[in-house]
Chains A and B, each alone.
Chain A
Amino acid sequence: MRTSRLAKTNYTILNAIILLLFLFPFLWMLIASFKTQVQVLSPDYMFIFSPTFKNYMAVFLEYDYLKFIWNTLVIALVSTLGSLLLGLPAAYGIAKYKMPYFALTILVAKIIPGITYLVPWYILFNKAHLIDSYGGMILAHMVIGLPFIMWVMIPFFEQFPKEVEESSWIDGCSKVRTFAQMVLPVSMPGIITSSLLAFIFSWNNFMFSLVLSGEKTKTLPLAIYNFMSNTSINWGALMAAACVITLPVIVIAMLAQKYIVSGLSAGAVKG
């Protein structure tokens, strides 16, 4: 009896330590975002200090982060919607009509390193005047969102019972309407999972912005990176900016925990 209670306490402590290790960098980021430069630089103020909100003021007033938030939001939202618009019907078509080559193309598009097409895009986008344009950024981000959404949705549509669809067709309902009014509502969990992750991938994307964006369409990850290339780093403001970028993603992840976990491991368990 006593050993089992001891084992249980040890188990709880071990769990708590593991959780703390995963949380620590986030806590550190949050703590530093409320410190002045002097407090960041001195070990005397490691955990105890009087918090300042100046960093957050600087991020929004001095560094104009509202503009970067807007850019990131527009690009992430529109590219996710575009990916859904193209991806949902295509995933349905591939699932219903068994098109293995199309499915393979999608898989390859999902696996290739982004930088492989970044070089040709840079050349072609330059010719088409798409560098530093919302259109160009949205197209680029759709290349991540579209294959991912299709990858998650194809197995979903494959599981939809054929008999239900066929009886709906016999009742005189068009195939398009059957898809929109019967298949899509039932597939909502998959749609939520894949679009939330497509949104997060776009929100977080750094490499495409680094090459394809400019002053007009700069997104948050690039903005915070540029912050650092100043000669001396203003750590407090940098961490405040990092908190601003990370917060929305963390809120989404916490509200939709179940969906995110299943999306991140999509295809892994089933194979």
Chain B
Amino acid sequence: MIINWIDRHLKWVFTLPAVLFIILMVAYPLVYTGRLSFYEWSMSAVTPPKWVGLDNYIALFKDTRFWNALKVTFYHTSVSIVLQTILGVGIAVLFSRKFKGVRLVKTVMMLPMVATPVSIALVWLLIYEPSIGFANQVFKWLGFETQEWLGSVTQVIPSLILIDVWEWTPFIALIVIAGIATLPTDPYESADVDGASSWQKLVHITLPLLTPTIITAVTLRIIDLLKTFDTIYATTQGGPNFASQSLNILVYDLAFQNFKLGSASALLVIFFILILSVILVLTSIRKRQEGRI
């Protein structure tokens, strides 16, 4: 009886629990955040939220911390993505040849991605430590001046970028390796007939055919880069002097350090719109690219 009933309504019996869960845990909180962005509230049980209209948004646009966080996020994301894309594609092309130990290579490259980000961040904190760290030790061996790394306002973002490049270059590389494996062989055969060099084949056949795959990998990375939290928070907490306070860290500070829940919510709405528009732009680029091929 019950089985019969489930069979007849399988579509809903199977999907509704998950969808209700998502509505309850994701959609409702999003609406809540949107509403809260028009209020001023510090989580006090005594003072209820006070309607302030667009004041939170206006205050944010006048706040230098907001523009700084936007700049930090953009700087960290853009340089990281350029470096890890170039390195990732390079490593993929290098490793796509068949050789002994491919499995070992793939396993090693996977480790930075799956290892717990906080523990990775703390290892890098030790490596970057100005007086005892390995980074400065290498600089001493090479005869360079030692650096402040994470402790310096100008070096903190490049240092964080290096961590992200180390951690996520393998992501681009592994996806591109998988992409190379699916490439058709005919173009290469006719290029061989024409006597093309391996460099020409790479530039004129492999890379153009891989462009959609690379764009997808880059899109996924950019989304995650904009959201970077663990690495930054565990190493610098946004310092020194706010030099590494990205949007994600600023939201956290506003909400859970300053308890300005209204401003934090307004910033979240802006952050959300930013990420959505980045995704829309990148998917439309990818569609256009695919149309061209």
Interface residue ranges, A against B (CB under 8 Å): 11, 14-15, 18-19, 21-23, 25-26, 28-29, 32, 40-43, 46, 86-87, 89-90, 92-94, 96-97, 99, 102, 105-106, 108-109, 111-124, 126, 139-140, 142-143, 146-147, 150, 174-177, 200, 203-204, 206-207, 210-211, 220-221, 224-225, 228, 235, 238-239, 241-243, 245-246, 249-250, 252-254, 257, 260-261, 264-265, 267-269, 271
Contact = CB atoms under 8 A, between A and B. Distances in A.
Contact of A119 (B36, B113, B137, B234): B36
Contacts, number: 267
A234 to B, nearest CB: 12
The majority secondary structure among interface residues of chain A is helix
A116 B268 contact: yes
A124 B35 CA distance: 14
Given A119-B33, A224-B118, A245-B116, 18 more contacts: A18-B94, A22-B170, A90-B19, A93-B10, A108-B26, A120-B30, A120-B32, A124-B29, A139-B25, A175-B10, A204-B114, A204-B118, A206-B233, A206-B234, A261-B106, A261-B110, A268-B213, A269-B216
Main secondary structure of the interface of B (DSSP, over half): helix
Nearest to B90: A18
A203 B119 CA distance: 12
B7 A261 contact: no
Given A25-B166, A114-B227, A242-B123, A265 B26 contact: no
Contacts of B10: 93, 175-176
B126 interface: yes
B37 to A, nearest CB: 10
Most buried by A among B17, B18, B19, B179: B18
Given A22-B108, A26-B111, A246-B119, A211 B223 contact: no
Contact of B114 (A18, A102, A115, A253): A253
Interface string B237-280: 00000000000100110011000010011001001100100010
Contacts of B101: 15
A206 B223 CA distance: 18
6 shortest interchain CB distances as A-B pairs: A90-B18, A93-B14, A242-B119, A120-B29, A89-B14, A93-B15
Contacts of B272: 112-113, 116
